[in-house]
Chain A
Amino acid sequence: MRPQHWQYTIPLRLRSLFRRSNVEQELSEELQFHLENKIEEGIARGLSPKEARYAALRAMGGLEQRKEEIRDMRGIGWLTDFFDDARFAIRSLRRTPGLTAFVAITLALGIGMTSATFSMVDGLIFRPYPVPHPGNVVSLVSTTHDSPYDSFSYREYLDIRDKTNSYAGVVASAAMEAVGFSAEPGTTPRIKGGTMVSGNYFQVLGVEPRLGRGFREDEDQVPGRDPVVVLGSDFWRHEFAGDESVLGKTILLNGTKFTVIGVAPDSFPGMSTFGHPDFYMPLAMAPVFTTNLQKNFFEDRDDRELSVKARLKPGATLEQARNEFAVLAKNFEREYPSVNRGRSAAVYTQFQARTIEDENWKFGVIFLILALAVLLVACTNVAGLLLSRSRARAREIAVRLALGAGRFRLIRLLLTESLILATFGGLAGIAIGYGVVEWFHSKESIVFATELPMAIPFHMDKRVLLACVALSVLSALLCGLAPALQSTRVDLVNALKSADVDVPGRKRLWGRNMLVVAQVSMSLMLLTASFLMARGFQHDLMEGHAFTKDHLLMTSFDPRLIQYNAGQTQQFYKLLAERMRETPGVQSEALTQNVPLGNDDFEDVAFVPEGFQMPPDRANFNATMDTIDEGYFETLGIPILRGRAFLSSDTPDSTRVAIVNEHFAKHYWPGGDAVGKHIRLDSSAGTPVEIVGVAQTIKTQNMADPADFVYMPLAQHPVARMVLMLHTSGDPLQLVQPVKDVVRSLDSNLPMLQTRAYQDFYLNQAVRGPRIAIDLVGSMGLVGLLLAVAGLYGLVAYNVSRRTREIGIRIALGAASSNVLRLVLGKGLVLVGIGMVAGLAMGFALEQLMNSMLFNSGGVDILAYAVVVPTMFLVTMLAAYVPARRATKIAPTQALRYE
């Protein structure tokens, strides 16, 4: 029945919607007019006025029904009905403000938690790359036995770019690194984060600069020729106040002059999840930024620093790209056996890349599961409340049904109510979600202890808000549907009787029983999860943390900021170490590339233990390494188990030496002595390095099991950026000034970075960081428990109120308190018992999931269950006992009067 002419019908419908009172009045008038005329006709035919009126009314067959039929014709019935229902719902909700508030808050907590954790999972996994057509951007990675996600070298990148056919363009970028930045020559450089990218980066990804232009391909051709830079939009705003005249300006990066040729758009903060580069430089300028002084960035095929991404050509499939890439990798292996043995290659979609690259997303998923559990508890709570509420309205519903309302119409009414509740809850939930995300952002400085521009990628953006809305609607349906269905299936006769009859029957409370069981089990699972997580982190803390943490000062240096070359750098560190050793108050000093649990990446060393026969599919083994000086082990209190620490006699001219940790020694020479053995660097024909000592294993990386570790002396393995650590008997911060004096005496331009007491840093990494996760899960557990307790209390109290008369009679007949308690509590206890068993099962499953994803501790944590189960039992019993006790106090006379 499609309207033929919109110019008539649209104004009509709008009028029916918005000028309803007018339209209604007109309708009444029209029918009234007709009625009067009919009466007149009756009178004219000889009837008396009264008879004429009766006859007319009878003929018109009930004015109200006529009106209703006419209203149905208006075609917007469902919409006006909805507004009516909504208005009625709000009115009846207002009459029970306490209940309404409780329900809204409950839903808000559930929806808020879920949306916040969804923002986590979204930010870590699903959010598409901030480029046009992100769907066909793929990641190209190198894979080995040890790592499914390894980088490529410059030469390999060139080969990939030139020898593949599946892509419209192949780009490369290096990891974001610390770069010394000065806006004006002569000012002390500050550390900022820069990323080197290939010349076609912006063009292939489709990023249109907001100002100026991106790189041209020819600007990346000749090493060192084109010192151009593109600024990130945030950086441009902070440093240059959004001044457009920045184009063409010269800035200093690591002491070298660069010209600003463009500014990236706001929509492009970078391709990486956490790091948002301050600026982008061409790969050709690598010598200015390179950290690895041992390898030649442009030539060495095993200097793997580049992350490669590509856009699939239209028409090319992922399958084709993968096959082609596998063939290319085989070719590499054939042509360069020394560096590519055992290396294959893969093409990953965004989803794969994000989930394989690191493990953070696993936390997000676990949090999401827990938040959904909270939401479920909240919904079941609300459903229970709505159910008891609709019981109280049984009379009203029966009357409506008797008056001729369709069942579907009534269900619509009740669902509208839950929709209104869910809307309130949803809006409040969005506010809670914002709050949680903001809380996360406030912890950024704890999570990222670095000068580089890192950010937590959780945002309440459009996608998350949409999820919120969907969640609210879903919860409304979940909470409201069952009660609505059940309450409209009413036996009219019974409901209309004045007494609040309790119809005995087994099916009756089945729904509510299920709710209680669900609540108790979810709540138990949540509590177990928070306990397990706390224990997991604690366990993590116990292992391998046996080194000195207090009375230590740490501060970092990067002589590249003042354009020191390798020789000057080595000299600087040598003098620094000497002078610091002589400074009063310093008990011992150490230089290390990265502190234990530090945020910077440790280097990797590829080696072949002397005399080992390497299997045909790999060229070497890998281990993490640190570059240190002679004072390291003493300063950090790490015992040398065999052999010696480094000495000043380990110089560039003497034999290459290394120290390994006990884990490494046991791994490669189990039962033997590692001291005196040799390893060869990179391949079995590489430089031999003698192992002179074995150190106790300590945990060097957060949230990872202790692993093989190699130490090399700074004198033999030059590195630009080092951390100075000083041990003192008093407050480490007292040493800051003496260090400043020494540094100034060596070079007044060199800045000291990240100066702090190591203990602070350690606490952040090992304690406060995990604390965030524990707090989040703990609060979810608490909320779940509170909701379950409230739900149980509500159920028992409701039961008592419904059976007041029955209980009164029993007491009058001589029932003792204990009998009454048993009567009221009996069912509840059984339900709690079932719920706890179910909860235990779920908790157990969750523990396995957490183990596989996070802690690798394996097995079952008995203590957790031993604590959580009795606690839960006690709390729920208390919740049920309080209203039950009230039941025993019922005065029979009062109860019988309750009619």
Chain B
Amino acid sequence: MSKPNDLVQGTLDLLLLKILALEPLHGWAISLRLKSISGDVLQVSEGSLYPALHKLEQEGWITAEWKQTENNRRAKFYSLTRVGKKQLESEAANWQRLSSAISQVVRLEEA
């Protein structure tokens, strides 16, 4: 398995929040979704995924519920809370600012 790119913890939070904003998912589905949307570029390891999910839950940005999957198996589904939505918006805005700043520097012509 290829090593995932280095993901800063803060950006992982942003990604997870955004994915859950689209629809409630369980942990496995989240990792699949992330891989597919990013075209296999972003692969989060289990070692980072679950601690991050639990931390988001502790913060109150996502909430969890045990439901049946399509295969009739029990899984823990996470969904975004109202407060989480606000957090997502603020983190997305931060990311925008940060990434455009970085792009500006990188785009500078070398002398």
Instruction: Give residues in A with beta carbon < 8 Å to B.
Output: 1, 3-9, 12-13, 26, 29-31, 33-34, 37-38, 55, 59-61, 65-66, 69-70, 72-75
User: How far does the Cβ of B22 sit from chain A's closest Cβ, in whole Å?
Assistant: 20
Contact A73 B27 (CB under 8 A): no
* Chain B residue, CB-CB nearest to A60: B46
Instruction: Report B65-94 residues with CB < 8 Å from chain A CB.
Output: 66, 73-76, 81, 83, 87
Q: List 20 A-B pairs, Cβ < 8 Å.
A: A4-B60, A5-B60, A7-B60, A8-B60, A8-B81, A8-B83, A9-B59, A26-B66, A26-B76, A30-B27, A34-B27, A34-B28, A34-B46, A59-B1, A59-B45, A60-B46, A61-B47, A69-B47, A69-B50, A74-B54
Contact A73 B51 (CB under 8 A): yes
* Chain B residue, CB-CB nearest to A74: B58
Contact B76 A12 (CB under 8 A): no
User: How far does the Cβ of B18 sit from chain A's closest Cβ, in whole Å?
Assistant: 18
A-B contact sample (18 more), CB < 8 A, given A6-B60, A8-B63 = A8-B81, A8-B83, A9-B59, A26-B66, A31-B50, A33-B26, A34-B28, A55-B1, A59-B1, A59-B46, A61-B45, A61-B47, A65-B47, A69-B47, A70-B54, A72-B51, A73-B58, A74-B54
* Residue among B26, B46, B47, B59 making CB contact with A4, cutoff 8 Å: B59
User: How far does the Cβ of A891 sit from chain B's closest Cβ, in whole Å?
Assistant: 58
Contact A3 B75 (CB under 8 A): no
Bound Cα distance A227, B73 (Å): 90
When distances are taken between beta carbons in the complex, the residues of chain B under 8 Å from A12 are 57-58
Bound Cα distance A665, B54 (Å): 93
Contact B28 A4 (CB under 8 A): no
Known contacts: A4-B61, A5-B81, A75-B58. The answer to whether A70 contacts B50 by CB under 8 A is yes
Inter-chain contact total with CB atoms closer than 8 Å: 77
* Residue among A4, A13, A33 making CB contact with B75, cutoff 8 Å: A33
Contact B54 A66 (CB under 8 A): no
Contact A70 B81 (CB under 8 A): no
Instruction: Give residues in B with beta carbon < 8 Å to A.
Output: 1, 26-28, 45-47, 50-51, 54-55, 57-61, 63, 66, 73-76, 81, 83, 87
Bound Cα distance A120, B35 (Å): 74
Contact A1 B50 (CB under 8 A): no
Bound Cα distance A29, B60 (Å): 22
Bound Cα distance A653, B28 (Å): 118
When distances are taken between beta carbons in the complex, the residues of chain B under 8 Å from A30 are 26-27, 50, 75-76
* Residue among A5, A55, A69 making CB contact with B83, cutoff 8 Å: A5
* Residue among A3, A5, A8, A66 making CB contact with B46, cutoff 8 Å: A66
Bound Cα distance A12, B47 (Å): 22
User: How far does the Cβ of A737 sit from chain B's closest Cβ, in whole Å?
Assistant: 87
* Residue among B47, B51, B60 making CB contact with A9, cutoff 8 Å: B60
When distances are taken between beta carbons in the complex, the residues of chain B under 8 Å from A70 are 50-51, 54
Bound Cα distance A894, B75 (Å): 62
* Residue among B50, B61, B73 making CB contact with A66, cutoff 8 Å: B50
Bound Cα distance A69, B61 (Å): 19
Bound Cα distance A840, B19 (Å): 78
Bound Cα distance A13, B61 (Å): 15
Bound Cα distance A12, B53 (Å): 14
When distances are taken between beta carbons in the complex, the residues of chain B under 8 Å from A72 are 51
Bound Cα distance A516, B102 (Å): 68
Closest 10 CB pairs of A and B: A5-B60, A8-B60, A37-B28, A73-B54, A73-B55, A5-B83, A69-B51, A60-B46, A30-B76, A9-B60
* Chain A residue, CB-CB nearest to B28: A37
User: How far does the Cβ of B101 sit from chain A's closest Cβ, in whole Å?
Assistant: 25
User: How far does the Cβ of A42 sit from chain B's closest Cβ, in whole Å?
Assistant: 10
Bound Cα distance A70, B26 (Å): 16
When distances are taken between beta carbons in the complex, the residues of chain B under 8 Å from A61 are 45-47
When distances are taken between beta carbons in the complex, the residues of chain B under 8 Å from A26 are 66, 76
User: How far does the Cβ of A420 sit from chain B's closest Cβ, in whole Å?
Assistant: 30
Bound Cα distance A6, B59 (Å): 9
When distances are taken between beta carbons in the complex, the residues of chain B under 8 Å from A7 are 60
Bound Cα distance A296, B47 (Å): 94
User: How far does the Cβ of A75 sit from chain B's closest Cβ, in whole Å?
Assistant: 6
When distances are taken between beta carbons in the complex, the residues of chain A under 8 Å from B59 are 1, 3-4, 9
When distances are taken between beta carbons in the complex, the residues of chain B under 8 Å from A5 are 60, 81, 83
Bound Cα distance A34, B76 (Å): 10
Bound Cα distance A33, B71 (Å): 12
Bound Cα distance A8, B54 (Å): 13
Bound Cα distance A8, B80 (Å): 12
Bound Cα distance A33, B66 (Å): 12
When distances are taken between beta carbons in the complex, the residues of chain A under 8 Å from B26 are 30, 33
Contact B73 A33 (CB under 8 A): yes
User: How far does the Cβ of B13 sit from chain A's closest Cβ, in whole Å?
Assistant: 12
Known contacts: A66-B46, A70-B50, A70-B51. The answer to whether A3 contacts B58 by CB under 8 A is yes
When distances are taken between beta carbons in the complex, the residues of chain B under 8 Å from A60 are 46-47
Bound Cα distance A60, B51 (Å): 13
When distances are taken between beta carbons in the complex, the residues of chain A under 8 Å from B75 are 30, 33
Bound Cα distance A59, B2 (Å): 10
When distances are taken between beta carbons in the complex, the residues of chain A under 8 Å from B61 are 4
* Chain B residue, CB-CB nearest to A55: B1
When distances are taken between beta carbons in the complex, the residues of chain A under 8 Å from B47 are 60-61, 65-66, 69
User: How far does the Cβ of A385 sit from chain B's closest Cβ, in whole Å?
Assistant: 42
* Chain B residue, CB-CB nearest to A1: B59
When distances are taken between beta carbons in the complex, the residues of chain B under 8 Å from A4 are 59-61, 83, 87
Bound Cα distance A73, B54 (Å): 7
Known contacts: A59-B46, A61-B45, A74-B54. The answer to whether A3 contacts B60 by CB under 8 A is yes
When distances are taken between beta carbons in the complex, the residues of chain B under 8 Å from A13 are 58
* Chain A residue, CB-CB nearest to B29: A37
Bound Cα distance A65, B45 (Å): 14
When distances are taken between beta carbons in the complex, the residues of chain A under 8 Å from B27 are 30, 33-34
Bound Cα distance A69, B46 (Å): 11
Bound Cα distance A846, B76 (Å): 71
User: How far does the Cβ of A316 sit from chain B's closest Cβ, in whole Å?
Assistant: 54
Bound Cα distance A75, B57 (Å): 11
* Chain B residue, CB-CB nearest to A69: B51
Bound Cα distance A12, B57 (Å): 9
User: How far does the Cβ of B66 sit from chain A's closest Cβ, in whole Å?
Assistant: 8
* Chain A residue, CB-CB nearest to B73: A33
Bound Cα distance A73, B28 (Å): 19
Which has the most chain B C-beta neighbours within 10 Å: A3, A30, A59, A61?
Answer: A30
* Chain A residue, CB-CB nearest to B30: A34
When distances are taken between beta carbons in the complex, the residues of chain B under 8 Å from A66 are 46-47, 50-51
Bound Cα distance A74, B87 (Å): 20
User: How far does the Cβ of A734 sit from chain B's closest Cβ, in whole Å?
Assistant: 87
* Chain A residue, CB-CB nearest to B61: A4
Bound Cα distance A26, B27 (Å): 13
* Chain A residue, CB-CB nearest to B47: A61
Bound Cα distance A234, B59 (Å): 57
When distances are taken between beta carbons in the complex, the residues of chain B under 8 Å from A38 are 28
* Chain A residue, CB-CB nearest to B52: A73
User: How far does the Cβ of A70 sit from chain B's closest Cβ, in whole Å?
Assistant: 5
Bound Cα distance A72, B55 (Å): 9
When distances are taken between beta carbons in the complex, the residues of chain A under 8 Å from B55 are 73
When distances are taken between beta carbons in the complex, the residues of chain A under 8 Å from B60 are 3-9
User: How far does the Cβ of B72 sit from chain A's closest Cβ, in whole Å?
Assistant: 13
User: How far does the Cβ of A309 sit from chain B's closest Cβ, in whole Å?
Assistant: 57
When distances are taken between beta carbons in the complex, the residues of chain A under 8 Å from B83 are 4-5, 8
Bound Cα distance A26, B83 (Å): 25
User: How far does the Cβ of A54 sit from chain B's closest Cβ, in whole Å?
Assistant: 12
* Residue among B1, B50, B51, B74 making CB contact with A29, cutoff 8 Å: B74
Bound Cα distance A38, B58 (Å): 26
* Chain A residue, CB-CB nearest to B48: A69
When distances are taken between beta carbons in the complex, the residues of chain A under 8 Å from B58 are 3, 9, 12-13, 73-75
When distances are taken between beta carbons in the complex, the residues of chain B under 8 Å from A8 are 57, 60, 63, 81, 83
When distances are taken between beta carbons in the complex, the residues of chain B under 8 Å from A59 are 1, 45-46
When distances are taken between beta carbons in the complex, the residues of chain B under 8 Å from A31 are 46, 50
User: How far does the Cβ of B108 sit from chain A's closest Cβ, in whole Å?
Assistant: 36
Bound Cα distance A13, B57 (Å): 11
When distances are taken between beta carbons in the complex, the residues of chain A under 8 Å from B54 are 70, 73-74
